[in-house]
Structures are given as C-alpha cells and as structure tokens.
Structure 1
C-alpha cells in the first residue's frame, strides 16, 4: 500500500466529514487507506463515521490521549509506505496526494513534506513553513521584528522567510496540520514524543527528523485549506499548554538551565501576555460579517430554493466561468457577498483556487459537500467556523 492518511479527531464532527469527503477524492487513484482516530469526542463524530463511512478504519479512544499519543496509536496500525498526518479541519485538493507522492519519490534522504496552507478566506498561513524556535527566533516573533524585515534569514527565521510562499524548498519545521513522510522513518524516530501532550509535537518531530540527516521540505505546488482554530479553542488552558510545550522543546533540544533558559521562559511569558491583548483587541474591533447577498456556484435550482428558504435572503446562481468578472467588479458594488460552492458540481481544487484568487476582496465562503446536508466555512483564521444545516 502506498499511503495511509491519519486523521486525529476531537469534537469537530462536520469539519471531519468535509475533510474525509475531500480526502477520499484525492485518494481515488492511489492504493491507500484512511484511519480516523477519535480522542473521546462527545459531538457524535463517531456515530457519523459509523453511519457515513463504515468502510473507513475508526479507532475510538476512551479518553483524550492528546495529539502525540493519538497519532502514534494510528500509525502503528497503518499499512502504507508513506503516511500523512492530517488535521480534521482541512480540505484537500483532488491532486494533492498525487503531486506530493511524485515529489517525495524524487528526493533522497527525505524527511517530512509540508504544503501550502490557507485559511477559510484564502489567506496564506505563514506557519506552513517555519524555523527552529531558538530564543532569538522567539524574540523576533514576539516583538514583530519578522514583519519589519520580511524574507530576512536573520529576522524572519520563525516563518522561514528565505522561502516565498510560492516557492518549494528546504525548511526546518513543518506544521502538524499536514505532515507527509515515510512510515518507516516515523517509526524509526519513534513518532511524536508522548511527553508532549500537544502544540510543539510537530516542531519536535520535524527537528528530530532533520537532526538524523533527513531533509524537510515545504511544497508549494498544492494548496490545502486549514480552518485554523477548529480543533482547539484558544483560551487560558490553550496558552498554558502552549507554554508547557515550548518549554518542553527548549529543555529537550536546546538548553536546560542557565541564562538561556531564563531568557526563553521570560519571552514565553511576554508572548502569552501579548497573545491575550491581541486576541482582546481582535474581538473588540472585528465585526461580524452579515452577508447581504448569496451567490451559489451550482446548476441546481432546487438547491437555490432550499437555501433561499433557510437563509431568508435571495440566492442567485453563478458559475466558475464568471469568477474573474465577479472578483473584478466586487469593490464597485459594496455588498457583503457570501459565495457558496456546490461540491456536487465543482471540485475542491476549483474551490481552493477560487478563494485564493478572491482573498482580501471582502468575500466570505462556504462549501456544500457532495451528499451532505450542511454548509460549512470560516471567515478568518482567528475564530471558529460556521455550520449551517440544510436538512
């Protein structure tokens, strides 16, 4: 078997369903398997899996064992030559795995491959490629120096500024939302370190893999949506665990005592204070977007009528051929337009391409997965997304 896709789920039932639908399309021509491991969700995720995807291997944990242990359990049962660790709040293009497999097979001393990630509004997520979080790198991130000197290997190492988002190349660290590698290598390095419950596990694995002489890559030729924030609510518990995880990485790989440790701890605390003030400001200034018009990309009059009844607003039909015209005239009509893609008509790749093209134009986006009775999407990478049931 070529590929095993591992999806660790915790309480994101509808995003998980969307993810699996997209992954199945992307694996249609590949000898592969999907393994979903659930960390004791209480939102009917497992019932949905058993009802909608009975052919997919489902592992049900009796407790939340964390990101590291959960993925290790699943990889131990995987059969693929390659594995892909994948977040459940992602959408995969139909050719994602085909492209990455071809790239992987060309490399020597292959470590981990990551790809271009965008949020639900089509905006590039800079954590798609990162550097090792040394105290200096953490300092440039917390103080915002990386923004003043973009693409600098000195000041913008946190987000691997030496590489453009549309440039494939070598990087140190990749994000756990999408990590593609050989299963044998994963087992050789003993997978994710289970002493880390979550948050720096991907940093640790990337670092361990590269330290053994393997090369990690950021691959830009395919884009994956990551509805960032769906798998984790960013509250006080989140920040406590994040600080613990970064301290874990620092003590394990860099320095365990002395001035370096004090320096790192101080900047971690500064970062937490900065995080809370930033989040508070974002919530105070961010206005909820209420669409004044809905454009459905489909050919279904029945779906138009159903959505009009549910949304209580006019829904008009559009097609992919008019997308550039729509985007170019958007700023002239000053409407808050929500674009809904019917996945029964248009592919996930077409949807991803569209939202990248239309980013920063003021649109919001949702998708209706094929054979699913809901709309789903997210307007930014800070808040949780929205699910609208249409059954």
Structure 2
C-alpha cells in the first residue's frame, strides 16, 4: 500500500497543470506516493505534456468531459494510498505539504479529512480555506451580503468561519475541493464523491458526509498552497450562478428535510434569481456605461453647438439628435472604440463613418432642414473632445500613463540565477512582453527579503517573476506574503517550462506569458460581432416565427432559444466538444456544418479548433442556414 494517492482532474489548463506537477514532484519526497492525472478531454496538449514531462504519473485520458466528481472517482477506485488527496491543477504546493499533512493525520486518528491554508496569486489568504455548513441562515447571510458586512462575526459569517484565526488548527465543517486530504478508509465508509454534482458543491457534500460518519474535518494552516483561481472566479457569469446554486439545491434536497428543507429550497431559488439578475445588471452596466458617457459628451456638444450655430427651425430636433447619437455610437462600437486598451484612432474612425452615413442618409431623404449641418459638425467635434478627455483620464487611472493604445507599462524584475533570468527574458520577448528592468540573485539569507523590497522601491517594480528552479515554493509563498502590495503582481517561471504563470487576485483568472497564437474567436472584434449577430438573428427569427415554426422541431424550445439568445444567456453556434464549463450554452456547434451523423470526439474537437481559429460571422450564418429545422434543439 502507498502512503498517499494524489489525484488531479485537469481540463484545458496545461500551463497550470505543469507547474502543479512540478511542485508535487518535490513534495512527494519522504513518502510512498502515486500521482493520478485525470484529463477531461482537453484540447490544449495537456495529455501530451504529461506523457512527455511526467512519465511517473498515472494518466487517465477521458474522451469526454465527465465533470469533477466522476473524474475524481475514476482515480479513487484505482488508488492504492492510505490517504487520498484531491488537488486542483491550478495549485502549487510547498515542499513539505504532503509530509506535514500525513504526519497530522497519523497523529489524529479521529481526523477524516483536512484542508490547508490557501493563498491567492498575490499572496493573500483565501477565506474559502475554512468554511461552515451552509444551513439556511448561513446561506441567507452569504447570499444577502451580511457575511461580507461582518467578516469576523461568528453569527453572520459562518460561511467562511471568519471568527476563527487563520493561523490556528481548527475543526471545521467544509473543505474546499482544491485541496482535500482524506483517509481512504473514511471514503470506503461514507462513499465517494456524489456524481450528481458536476462542477460545484461536491466538496460540501463529501465534507458533510465525513462529519456525519463520525470523523473530524480539520483546517490545518501549518502548510500553505497557492490557489490561482479562488471561489469568486466568474461570479458575474449567469451560467456560473445557475450551476453553483443548482449544486446547493441538490445538497439541500439530499441532506435536509421537512421545514428546514423548504426554507433552504426557497432561499436557494431566491438566490438563483437574485444573483442572476444582479449578474445581468452588472454586465449591462459594464457594457452601457462607456456608451452613456459618450452619449453625454455628444449631448453636451450639441448643446454648445446650439449656442455657436443656432438652429433656425422651430421644430423640436430632439428625436433627430437621438437618431444621430445612435448612429455615431453604433459606428464607434463596431470600429472597436470600446475595446481595451482604448485607441483614439478607432474612436475617430467610428465618428467619421457615422458622420458620413448621416450625411448620406440626410441627403437622400432631404431632412437636413431640421438640424443644421454646421451644427452637426460642431456637435461631433466637441463630443470627440469630451470622449477623448474621459478616455484619457480613465487610461491613466488604469494603465498609469497617457499614451493611448498602450497597455500598462510593465516594470519587471526577475528573482533567480543568471541562467534562469536569461530564459525568462527570452520567454518575455517571444510573448511580446517587456523585458526585465533588473534581476536579483538571492543568496538564501534572511537579508534577501529586504533587498528584494529595496529593488521594488528603487526601480518602481510592478511585476516580480520568481524562478521556480532556483527557489523553493515555501520561500516564494513567504516572500509573496511579506511583500504583498497591490501595486506588485507576482508570477512564477517553473523549471524547464515555456510559461510564466501568475494571477493578481482570487477574482482574476490565472494568466501567463507564452508564445502568441492568433485565434479569431478570442478577438474582441469577432466576439462583439458574434454577440450582435446572436441578437439580430434572434429578432429576425422571432419576426419570421409564424412562417418558420412549422418547419422547426421542438417549437416551444425554439421560442425559448430565441429569447435566450436575445438576452445573451445562450448562443446559436458555439463550442461543445471543447467548451469550458462556464461557457454560454450553445444550440448548434461547428460539427453541424459538416453532417448530422455522429462523428468521433477527436474529429469534433478538431473541427471546433479550426472553427475557433478561422471564425467569421459568415461561418455562424452558414451553420444556421443549414440547420433551420434544428433551431428548437435543447441547449447543451
């Protein structure tokens, strides 16, 4: 029997997985450990990378995305370890993490499972390291913001157990699925992960069953891990909200009964609709706010223009101005004026095209009498001044300089040996990023930390890259915690890796430097066109519904699909074989362009990769035209 079986479920995060496995390789020393990687049909080369770089790993390569629970259970059934560790691929463990956890469990026979102290990519403590049972009151306090208002209250914030010190061992109720160190005999008694949970809630359910089985669940802060993506990732995503609270509802129906179950179910349903509404409002405000500012600038320009070039007409010009503003803002939108970082030429180009369209339209229908052309010219010029000014202020606040179109200036320092610093510089060049301003080679003495702080101060460093080959993970985490500064971001260059990985907070997806590969579907221009196309197609289909609906299978679902696409919940054509769990559900996929017959998963993935790389709006229209009878298909 092995001492420990480490199980990592991976889905399209090859760069994180590589770094995680490198840290695991160092942490297994002193124990008999087997490592499983269960890949859920990734298309980013994860399987090939594991086979090439980590031959000691037991790789289970699935041909479809089975979800977190099923994939973990696959490996647990094959595991030979006395202890089982479920570990996320977007984590980095300290060199002594496994030994310390093993020792603690050996010394506490009543312990069924433990979790450790988790830090985000900026060195900040993640409160989900320790959690309480989501009873109706705990769920209510969390959903309605009372936990956030009173973070250290034992009454209001039992969800994150904010009243318990971060640096002391405590029995807790719930562990995070990112790191669950469990006794194998306990799993044999209480059962494996519940496969009704696809992505969220399985950690809550399993922790609860371990407690119900008579074992303790511990928070163990004497070792730390980095967890790049905390629980808040994509919480503004409507799909995330429904998936997470669906998981909570499954938990409630499984473990509560009677009045408690009814109250919990009511709160969860209320939370689903409340959070989904808030997510939609937040996304709407984010999208509309820049447009509203530009509209205000144009309105002020029109008001000033009225004084400079009086309008001789007695008719109220307000409706015409509203139409003019709509055309200007529309052409600015499609010219990329709202893409980041903002570029002045895109804004000017949009205003110019809008003005040309307005002049041409006015000449054709002879309505220029209502609004003087000189008045229009003054309005757009003054509006441009206002739009440029607010963009300039925002650009400086966001990127720290006044140069339009340029992202935030990176002032990078690399901590490591000369050889690794050169490798980091080469990777940064290949990724099109700025090269390091300076380097620091640690002497592995207590003075290192102070010297790093001095380097940051002298060179005004805002990004620090640690070389994983030269530094222990425990040392990197300690320096991140001690340096912790909002102005400084941290990244790690793993040993022999082609990626430099980091994340500025738990709310930010982990990012990385690597060779740039152009994928049209990720381009803001094409993403914008795809969203607009979905809505326009939905409006057209709704207008033509009385004629088309007789040809369409699933007529009721067809109307739901139209409305779902109109408000952005669904997409008409999207990735399915290669979709991420938080992607918007799609009615059709690129495979529908080829044939309705079944094809192999590998072929489907290849078709979707080509679609993503070469995407155009015409591709979606072609797929829709060939599949009109299937537009009533259920989302997937």
Relative to the length of structure 1, the TM-score reads: 0.91
Q: Residue by residue, what CA displacement relative to the aligned partner does 1:307-359 show, whole Å, maximum 9, x if unpaired? A: 564433343111444323443785x6693521111111111111111111122
Moved more, 281-290 or 249-258: 281-290
When residues 92 and 314 of structure 1 are mapped into structure 2, their CA distance, relative to the original with a 3 A threshold, is closer
2:494 equivalent to 1:374: no
Moved more, 203-212 or 53-62: 53-62
2:275 equivalent to 1:271: yes
The separation in 1 between residues aligned to 2:501 and 2:285, in whole angstroms, is 26
Task: Tell me the SS of whatever aligns to 2:118.
Answer: strand
For the 8 Å contact 1:12–1:230, the answer to whether it is kept is no
Q: Shift of the alpha carbon at 1:291?
A: 4.6
The separation in 2 between residues aligned to 1:277 and 1:222, in whole angstroms, is 40
The separation in 2 between residues aligned to 1:138 and 1:365, in whole angstroms, is 34
Q: Residue by residue, what CA displacement relative to the aligned partner does 1:213-235 show, whole Å, maximum 9, x if unpaired? A: 11000011111000116998653
2:483 equivalent to 1:358: yes
When residues 30 and 230 of structure 1 are mapped into structure 2, their CA distance, relative to the original with a 3 A threshold, is same
| Residue 324 of structure 2: aligned partner | none
For the 8 Å contact 1:10–1:231, the answer to whether it is kept is no
2:338 equivalent to 1:212: no
Q: Shift of the alpha carbon at 1:260?
A: 4.4
Q: Shift of the alpha carbon at 1:276?
A: 5.4
2:326 equivalent to 1:324: no
For the 8 Å contact 2:238–2:279, the answer to whether it is kept is no
For the 8 Å contact 2:428–2:513, the answer to whether it is kept is no
Q: How many residues align?
A: 390
| Residue 243 of structure 2: aligned partner | 241
Query: Pick from 262, 265, 275: which aligns with 1:261?
Result: 265
| Residue 557 of structure 2: aligned partner | none
| Residue 434 of structure 2: aligned partner | 312
The separation in 2 between residues aligned to 1:262 and 1:230, in whole angstroms, is 23
**Structure 1: gaps of 5 or more residues:** none
Paired residues for 1:157-168 under 5 Å: 157-168=158-169
The separation in 1 between residues aligned to 2:425 and 2:410, in whole angstroms, is 17
| Residue 465 of structure 2: aligned partner | 340
When residues 57 and 282 of structure 1 are mapped into structure 2, their CA distance, relative to the original with a 3 A threshold, is farther
Q: Shift of the alpha carbon at 1:304?
A: 5.9
For the 8 Å contact 1:138–1:267, the answer to whether it is kept is no
Task: Tell me the SS of whatever aligns to 1:114.
Answer: strand
The separation in 2 between residues aligned to 1:319 and 1:280, in whole angstroms, is 48
| Residue 388 of structure 1: aligned partner | 513
RMSD of aligned C-alpha atoms?
A: 2.7
When residues 72 and 314 of structure 1 are mapped into structure 2, their CA distance, relative to the original with a 3 A threshold, is closer
Task: Tell me the SS of whatever aligns to 1:24.
Answer: helix
Q: Shift of the alpha carbon at 1:366?
A: 0.9
| Residue 195 of structure 1: aligned partner | 196
Greater share of strand: 1
Q: Which has the larger radius of gyration?
A: 2
The separation in 2 between residues aligned to 1:39 and 1:251, in whole angstroms, is 28
Task: Tell me the SS of whatever aligns to 1:158.
Answer: coil
Task: Tell me the SS of whatever aligns to 1:3.
Answer: strand
| Residue 295 of structure 1: aligned partner | 413
Q: Shift of the alpha carbon at 1:112?
A: 1.2
Task: Tell me the SS of whatever aligns to 1:16.
Answer: helix
| Residue 296 of structure 2: aligned partner | none
The separation in 1 between residues aligned to 2:232 and 2:61, in whole angstroms, is 17
Q: Residue by residue, what CA displacement relative to the aligned partner does 1:195-225 show, whole Å, maximum 9, x if unpaired? A: 1112100000000110111100001111100
| Residue 182 of structure 1: aligned partner | 183
The separation in 2 between residues aligned to 1:225 and 1:280, in whole angstroms, is 33
The separation in 1 between residues aligned to 2:409 and 2:17, in whole angstroms, is 26
| Residue 254 of structure 2: aligned partner | 252
Q: Residue by residue, what CA displacement relative to the aligned partner does 1:146-189 show, whole Å, maximum 9, x if unpaired? A: 23333322111010123111121110001000000111211321
Q: Residue by residue, what CA displacement relative to the aligned partner does 1:65-97 show, whole Å, maximum 9, x if unpaired? A: 111111011110111100100000000010111
Q: Shift of the alpha carbon at 1:265?
A: 1.9
When residues 229 and 40 of structure 1 are mapped into structure 2, their CA distance, relative to the original with a 3 A threshold, is farther
Relative to the length of structure 2, the TM-score reads: 0.57
